[in-house]
A and B are shown apart, each in its own frame.
Chain A
Amino acid sequence: MENESRVAISSAADIVTARQKGRALATQLGFDGSDLTLIATAISEIARNIVAHAKSGEIRLTPLNQNGKSGILIVANDEGPGIPDVNRAMQYGYSTAKGLGVGLPGAKWLMDEFEIESKVGNGTKVTMRKWLK
């Protein structure tokens, strides 16, 4: 079984590292073609979110094996300011960082499962999963 890997995110350059590691793990797990690109793009968006809002954080990439299904688990954690209104942050086109406002809602569309928890002053945790079909 492949091990989980962690990527510290503190600058824009780490976004590239995170998506490359994610793609490498997903390839080992048997994902192919467009799924690899969707996973790498989703990682790119949530890593970008850390850089834009929290300055630093971490992305954990873990193989999943549940009820005979395998997949990839991606958890992004930061200790940034947190998101006061998560519902609003998940609205397409809403951005407080001069972005396109596509990152978080976009990542949700790219993955099979997506959860976000955030507390003001306590940072944000994004959990995403994609299952092998």
Chain B
Amino acid sequence: MHVPILKQGDCLIASVQSVLSDADLLQLRDDLADRVGKFRSRGVIIDVTVLDVIDSFATRTLRAVAHMLLLRGAETVIVGIQPDVAFAMVQLGLSLEGVGTSLDLEEGLAYLDRRFKKSLKHGK
């Protein structure tokens, strides 16, 4: 299922609504890369609260999306990884390697806010 992407100030919010096939994940990657340029976004939140499985492919794709968006100038934070999903990911030895994560949407927005302030302080 297609993932809707909302614009909220400097940020984009991609809110996953149902289970994602591999094709949906790749579509999300392409959509986000496109929108980040279009809206000149500096932060992206991917809300995966509804995902009941994050397997090796999903992990690799989310990681790739975040790294790709960073190259486009936007920071990504993944929010809403469920406790059972986190447990399975750890069992599988999967990590998001350097990609920001937050508990939920609210924490994700606060996380990006802090990152923006930090980059302002450094005069970027």
Query: Complex Cα distance A100/B64, Å?
Result: 12
Q: How far is the CA of A103 from the CA of B92 in the complex (A)?
A: 8
**Is B119 in contact with chain A by the CB < 8 A criterion?**
no
- Complex Cα distance, B92 from A100, in Å, reads 11
Q: Is A23 an interface residue (CB 8 A)?
A: yes
A45 contacts B52, CB within 8 Å?
Answer: no
Is the Cβ of A12 less than 8 Å from the Cβ of B22?
yes
Residue among B52, B53, B83, B93 with max Cβ neighbours from chain A (10 Å): B53
In contact, A37 and B87 (Cβ under 8 angstroms) = yes
Chain B residues lying within 8 Å of A45, measured Cβ to Cβ, are 55-56, 92
Contact A37 B85 (CB under 8 A): yes
- Complex interface bits, B26-41 against A, C-beta within 8 A gives 1, otherwise 0: 0000000000000000
**Residue from B52, B53, B93 in contact with A102 in the complex, judged by beta carbons closer than 8 Å:** B93
Within 43-60 of B, Cβ neighbours of A (below 8 Å) are at 52-57, 59-60
Chain B CB within 8 A of A91 CB: no
**A99 close to B84 (CB less than 8 A):** no
A19 sits at the interface (CB 8 A):
yes
**Given A37-B52, A106-B92, also A100-B60 (CB < 8 A):** yes
Per DSSP, chain A at the interface is: helix
A4 to B3, CA, bound (A): 33
Q: Given A13, A16, A34, A48, which contacts B56 in the complex, CB threshold below 8 Å?
A: A48
Query: Smallest CB–CB gap between B17 and chain A, Å?
Result: 14
A109, B60: Cβ atoms under 8 Å? no
Are B88 and A34 in contact, CB atoms less than 8 angstroms apart? yes
Task: Say whether A34 contacts B55, CB under 8 Å.
Answer: no
Nearest A residue to B92, CB-CB: A106
A100 touches B56 (CB 8 A): yes
Complex Cα gap A102–B88 (Å): 12
Give, as a whole number of angstroms, the nearest-CB distance from A35 to chain B.
Answer: 9
CB distance from A78 to the nearest CB of B (A): 18
Known contacts A37-B52, A99-B57, A103-B56; 19 further A-B pairs (Cβ under 8 A): A13-B23, A15-B22, A16-B19, A33-B84, A34-B83, A34-B84, A36-B84, A38-B84, A38-B91, A41-B55, A41-B88, A44-B55, A45-B92, A99-B56, A102-B56, A102-B94, A106-B91, A110-B88, A110-B92
